[in-house]
């Protein structure tokens, strides 16, 4: 502490929030450095004191792919789209799916596992779920390297669409995960039931997402309902962009994207309104 | 002079009961009823109505209509016994929690030392944690860079700076944590009981640091149970009692008022009717006292003398399987022991079932037991496996004076909460 900072200090007004809380996203920008450090911490400690370290980011999707290939590819003989070999067909879907599940798991617990921060210091609480979701991207990138290797092996060249489409679908994954996680993490502050419900939820969600199978197996009249699941849009999008199979962006994608935006916006409002009680009820 | 903090009619209401209630049942019937009520609960939770309106919930005002202004560059002491609302006030000022009513205007960044070590991750090294913790406390990266060497110096962890903090001793951990917080450059600094942590040397350093901060013209709010520190460091103090501001005066006057009005830690805790939750019936605590050998109520215990703890309570109905007892812990929160009045099998046979009436459970803690420092006495009345009637984790706190205790010929701090007089034998074997 050398000398008193000379700049004019900002004045803060503290009063009870009445009615619907404003989203105040500007606050999030002021705390961007904290978001960065939280991501950095999450990444840094994730595989500490594990033998295999970051290899887990690869092992998990690869092993799942092997199991899926055996069960659904060999035994159940589920058809893929456009004769794409089953392993790469499922792995392409497992990447965004893995990111989504990890994000949900981490983010839903982010408030309760950082309880001492929440009860002791002020910062926009949104930082916690947001940072834990973004830190999952590192695992995604690592697992993606394997996908590139597989594409070389199977001699599949992605279309140029991948360049713009992949980041977009990735964004859609993150928005969906954030939307759901905002609801869950805020509820988790008061009701730890979320911890028990979450595994069921993700398992169920996996069934209604075309990870192990092709969405073409869903009959025509159910397609619209099916696309209410944003992750269905994401998985189809990944396959379309990387493997060149299935449909490009169409109405069902717009439905997926709208649902996911709706989740995000409602999640933000719910979170912001519960935020003021976090320190008291956690 | 400009006003740094302006507090206007702040009140804070807490819901108690609902959360505690949740963990109280362990009877099958309760669990069953609770399970059947699940749909109702989910409905209430999602409509945001919580458990409001049910009998289980009681509301308490942790702060009620508190107002004061503080000018820039002043150091204000806040005194009051546990539960007076000191911490709630600091939490509102540092924006951790919202007031239920009233407004606060704060000019400048509020940094607080109640967040020592917050966000520290055991797997990260000291260096990494400094940056992490700094960011959490709202420091900019450049600000941390600038202060980095000073922080390391202050913390005295030196060569271990690149070791994961999980390998640190608790003292090193604490020093590092405090060093980061102390180098935060807020316009307003909030300090809550730092003196309860760390060894004497480190505490001295912390107080020194606070003095520096004050001299640089920053505004400081200082909460402590240590009256001599309050007297030394603050010019003015406010006295809180049950959430209300009783007095604001120059420190000597305020401290005098606090000590003489009988709310200071006096070696005695008396429960008033409104301090006892309704669900503790038929058990009703009356008073907890700490007495020396002569039977006088004391707040400072001599380590070389035995001390008697007595808890007076009323049973408004017969209770079976009752055990009444205490937890003893240090102010750092380490438990020293837990003991109940019916621990002894014979006692249990005789007093396990108690008729209604007024009782005193009394025990003696032997001489040569405590080490120097401050201890906290918690109480508990329960029937094992059936119900917990009443619990207060921090009913009373007291100081221990170690003059004459073993090893006091060396002016050093002895580790650990107990200081037994051991029967050492020294023999020459060769």
- Find the mean pLDDT for residues B187-203: 67
Claim to verify: residue B184 and residue B204 sit in the same structural domain: yes
Confidence of residue B260 (pLDDT cuts 50, 70, 90): low
Check pLDDT > 90 for residue A120.
no
Please give the average per-residue pLDDT across A183-189, as a whole number: 92
Does A116 reach chain B within 8 Å, measured CB to CB?
Answer: yes
Report CB contact under 8 Å: B96, A33.
no
Same domain, B274 and B312: yes
pLDDT at B48: 58
Q: Note the pLDDT tens digit of each residue in B55-92.
A: 445 778 889 999 999 988 888 999 887 678 888 898 89
Confidence of residue A16 (pLDDT cuts 50, 70, 90): confident
Chains A–B, number of C-beta pairs less than 8 Å apart: 120
Q: Which domain holds residue B274?
A: 268-401
pLDDT at B20 over 50: no
| Helical (H) or strand (E) element with A188 | helix A161-190
Number of domains composing chain B: 3
CA proximity to A34, closest of B206, B119, B45: B119
Residue B362 pLDDT class (50, 70, 90 cuts): very high
The model's confidence at residue B26, banded by pLDDT at 50, 70 and 90, is very low
What confidence score (pLDDT) does residue A8 get? Answer: 63
Any idea which residue has 């990138």 for tokens? A141
Classify residue B375: in a domain, yes or no.
yes
User: Is residue B173's pLDDT more than 80?
Assistant: yes
Give the pLDDT confidence score for residue B23 in this predicted structure: 43
Q: What pLDDT does B52 receive?
A: 46
Residue A260 has pLDDT above 90, yes or no: yes
Instruction: Tell me, yes or no, whether B152 lies in a domain.
Output: yes
Mean pLDDT of B292-298: 85
Question: Given an 8 Å threshold on Cβ–Cβ distance, is A14 in contact with B124?
Answer: no
Q: Which residues of A touch B110 (CB under 8 A)?
A: 12, 122
* Shortest CA gap A9–chain B (Å): 4
Name B105's bridge partners: A13, B6
Contacts of B49 (CB under 8 A, 6+ apart): none
Answer yes or no: do B194 and B112 share one domain: yes
| Sign of CA pseudo-dihedral B39, B45, B49, B51 | positive
Res B331 pLDDT > 70: no
pLDDT at A134: 94
In a shared domain, residues B86 and B205: yes
Q: Choosing among A19, A27, A122, A187, which should be mutated to test the B contact, i.e. which has the most B CBs within 10 A?
A: A122
- Are residue B93 and residue B190 in the same domain, yes or no? yes
pLDDT score at B135:
84
pLDDT confidence of A2, banded at 50, 70, 90? very low
Cβ count near A11 (within 10 Å): 11
| pLDDT-derived band at B41, boundaries 50, 70, 90 | confident
| Res. A106: pLDDT tops 90 | yes
Contact criterion met (CB below 8 Å) for B338 and B365: no
- Residues A116, B118: C-beta atoms closer than 8 Å: yes
Measured CA to CA, the distance from residue B348 to residue B362 in angstroms comes to 15
Q: Which of B103, B105, B216 sits opposite A11 (nearest CB)?
A: B105
Give percent of chain A with pLDDT exceeding 70: 96
Kindly report which listed range (A253-257, B23-27, B92-96, B360-364) carries the lowest average pLDDT score.
B23-27
At residue B363, the pLDDT reads 93
> Confidence class of residue B332 from pLDDT cuts 50, 70 and 90?
low
What is the 3-state composition of chain B as percent helix, strand, coil, each rounded to the nearest 5? Answer: 30, 35, 35
Same domain as B393, residue B250: no
Same domain for B230 and B87: yes
Res B31: pLDDT: 62
Task: Give the separation between CA A271 and CA B96, rounded to whole angstroms.
Answer: 16
Give B-chain residues touching A120 at CB under 8 angstroms.
Answer: 96, 112, 114-115, 118
B380 and B299 in a common domain: yes
- Where are the domains positioned within chain A? 29-271
Assess if residue B426 is contained within a domain: no
Between B67 and B387, the higher pLDDT residue:
B67
Of B241, B260, B279, which residue constitutes the final position of a domain? B260
| CB neighbour list of residue A47: distance below 8 Å, 6 or more residues apart | A53, A54, A56
Given B230, B260, B290, the domain boundary residue is B260
Mean pLDDT (whole number) for B19-42: 61
- C-beta separation of B314 from B297 below 8 A: no
Give the rounded percent of residues in chain A with a pLDDT score beyond 90: 50
Q: Which two tokens stand for residue B366?
A: 């032997």
pLDDT confidence of residue B248:
92
Verify that B26 and B112 share a domain, yes or no: no
- Which of A1, A15, A31 minimises the CB distance to B216? A1
Cβ of residue A187 closer than 8 Å to a chain B Cβ: yes
Alpha-carbon gap, residue B326 to B394, rounded angstroms = 10
pLDDT bin (cut points 50, 70, 90) of residue B51 is very low
pTM of the prediction? 0.72
CA distances from residue B177 to A70, A127, B121, B133, B165 in whole angstroms, order as listed: 52, 22, 11, 8, 10
Is the Cβ pair A44, B124 closer than 8 Å?
Answer: yes
Q: Is residue B293 very low, low, confident or very high in pLDDT (cuts 50, 70, 90)?
A: confident
Say if residue B156's pLDDT is above 80: yes
Interface ipTM above 0.85: no
> How far apart (Å, rounded) are the C-alpha atoms in residues A212 and B170?
50
Q: Does residue A235 have a pLDDT over 80? A: yes
Cross-chain CB nearest to A16 (options B101, B132, B147): B101
In terms of pLDDT, which residue wins out, B231 or A38?
A38
Does residue B181 sit in the same domain as residue B314?
no
- Mean local confidence (pLDDT), B230-249: 87
Q: Which pLDDT tens digit goes with each residue over A28-55?
A: 888 888 899 899 888 888 888 788 888 8
Q: Would you state the structure tokens that stand for residue A1, as one six-digit string?
A: 């502490």
Q: What is the mean pLDDT of residues B379-401?
A: 84
Contact by Cβ (8 Å): A264, A181: no
| Per-residue confidence (pLDDT) for residue B306, from 0 to 100 | 92
Judge if B114 and B178 occupy the same domain: yes
Question: DSSP labels for A80-127?
Answer: -STT--HHHHHHHHHHHHHHHHHHHHHHHTHHHHTHHHHHH--S-TTH
- Tell me the Ramachandran region of residue B85: left when phi exceeds 0, alpha when psi lies from -120 to 50, beta otherwise: left
Which residue, among B14, B102, B108, B147, would best test binding to A if mutated, counting the most A CBs under 10 Å from its CB? B108
CB pair distance less than 8 Å for B108 and A10? yes
A37 to A127, A174, B217, B252: CA distances (angstroms): 10, 19, 31, 45
- Average pLDDT, rounded, for chain B: 81
Q: Which among B244, B260, B276 is the end of a domain?
A: B260
Q: What is the mean pLDDT of residues A147-164?
A: 89
| Same domain, yes or no: B218 and B105 | yes
B85 found inside a domain: yes
Looking at per-residue pLDDT, the higher value among B334 and A156 belongs to A156
The backbone torsions φ and ψ at residue B247, rounded to the nearest 5 degrees and listed phi first, read -155, 145
The residue with greater pLDDT, A70 or B332, is A70
Distances (CA, A) of B139 to A116, A146, B181, B216: 18, 39, 10, 19
The span from the CA of A179 to the CA of A129, in Å, is 10
More confident site: A44 or B202 = A44
| Predicted pLDDT of residue A99 | 95
CATH number of the domain encompassing residue B248: 3.40.50.300
Q: Percentage of chain B with pLDDT > 70?
A: 85
Query: Which range is least confidently modeled, B136-140, B260-264, B296-300?
Result: B260-264
- Residue B123 pLDDT greater than 60, yes or no: yes
Tokens 């009959």: give the residue.
Answer: A219
């Amino acid at each position: 502490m050398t000398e008193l900072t000379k700049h004019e200090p900002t004045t803060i007004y503290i009063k009870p929030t009445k009615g619907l809380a404003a989203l105040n996203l500007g606050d999030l920008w002021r705390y961007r450095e904290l978001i960065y450090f939280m991501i950095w911490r999450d990444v840094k400690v994730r595989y500490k004191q594990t033998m295999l370290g970051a290899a887990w980011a690869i092992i998990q999707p690869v092993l799942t792919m092997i199991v899926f290939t055996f069960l659904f590819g060999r035994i159940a003989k589920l058809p893929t789209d456009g004769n794409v070999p089953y392993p790469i067909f499922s792995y392409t879907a497992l990447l965004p799916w893995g990111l989504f599940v990890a994000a949900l798991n981490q983010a839903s617990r982010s408030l309760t596992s950082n309880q001492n921060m929440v009860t002791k210091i002020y910062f926009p609480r949104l930082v916690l779920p947001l940072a834990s979701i973004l830190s999952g991207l590192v695992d995604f990138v690592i697992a993606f390297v394997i996908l590139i290797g597989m594409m070389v092996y199977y001699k599949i060249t992605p279309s140029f669409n991948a360049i713009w489409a992949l980041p977009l679908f990735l964004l859609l994954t993150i928005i969906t995960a954030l939307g759901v996680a905002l609801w869950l993490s805020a509820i988790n502050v008061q009701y730890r039931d979320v911890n028990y419900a979450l595994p069921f939820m993700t398992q169920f969600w996996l069934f209604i997402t075309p990870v192990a199978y092709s969405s073409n197996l869903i009959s025509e009249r159910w397609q619209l309902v099916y696309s209410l699941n944003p992750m269905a849009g994401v998985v189809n999008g990944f396959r379309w962009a990387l493997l060149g199979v299935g449909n490009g962006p169409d109405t069902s994608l717009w439905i997926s994207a709208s649902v996911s935006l709706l989740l995000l916006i409602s999640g933000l409002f719910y979170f912001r309104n519960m935020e003021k009680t976090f320190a008291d009820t956690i | 002079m400009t006003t740094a903090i302006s507090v206007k009619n702040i009140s804070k209401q807490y819901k108690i009961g609902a959360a505690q209630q949740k963990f109280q049942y362990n009877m099958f019937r309760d669990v069953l009823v609770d399970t059947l009520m699940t749909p109702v609960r989910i409905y209430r939770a999602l409509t945001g109505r919580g458990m409001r309106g049910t009998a289980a919930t009681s509301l308490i005002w942790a702060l009620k209509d508190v107002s004061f202004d503080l000018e820039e560059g002043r150091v204000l002491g806040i005194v009051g016994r546990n539960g007076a609302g000191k911490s709630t006030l600091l939490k509102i000022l540092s924006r951790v929690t919202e007031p239920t009513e009233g407004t606060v205007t704060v000019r400048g960044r509020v940094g607080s030392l109640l967040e020592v070590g917050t966000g520290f991750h055991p797997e990260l090294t000291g260096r990494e944690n400094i940056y992490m913790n700094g960011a959490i406390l709202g420091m900019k990266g450049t600000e941390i860079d600038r202060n980095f060497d000073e922080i390391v110096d202050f913390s005295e962890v030196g060569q271990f700076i690149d070791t994961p903090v999980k390998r640190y001793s608790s003292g090193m951990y604490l020093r590092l944590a405090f060093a980061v917080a102390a180098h935060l450059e807020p316009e307003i600094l909030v300090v809550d009981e730092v003196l309860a942590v760390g060894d004497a040397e480190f505490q001295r350093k912390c107080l020194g640091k606070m003095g520096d901060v004050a001299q640089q013209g920053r505004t400081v709010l200082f909460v402590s149970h240590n009256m001599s520190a309050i007297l030394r460091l603050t010019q003015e103090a406010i006295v809180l009692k049950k959430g209300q501001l009783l007095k604001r005066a120059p420190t000597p006057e305020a401290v005098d008022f606090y000590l003489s009005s009988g709310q200071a830690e006096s070696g005695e805790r008396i429960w008033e009717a409104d301090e006892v939750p309704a669900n503790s019936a038929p058990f009703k605590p009356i008073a907890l006292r700490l007495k020396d050998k002569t039977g006088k109520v004391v707040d400072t215990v001599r380590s070389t003398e035995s001390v008697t703890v007595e808890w007076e309570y009323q049973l408004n109905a017969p209770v079976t399987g009752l055990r009444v007892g205490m937890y003893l812990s240090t102010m750092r929160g380490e438990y020293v022991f837990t003991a109940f009045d019916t621990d002894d099998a014979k006692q249990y046979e005789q007093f396990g079932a108690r008729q209604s009436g007024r009782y005193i459970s009394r025990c003696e803690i032997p001489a040569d037991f405590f080490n120097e420092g401050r201890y906290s006495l918690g109480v508990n009345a329960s029937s094992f496996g059936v119900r917990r009637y009443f619990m207060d984790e921090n009913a009373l706190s007291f100081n221990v004076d170690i003059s004459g205790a073993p090893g006091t010929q060396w002016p050093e701090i002895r580790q650990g909460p107990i200081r037994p007089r051991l029967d050492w034998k020294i023999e020459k074997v060769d």
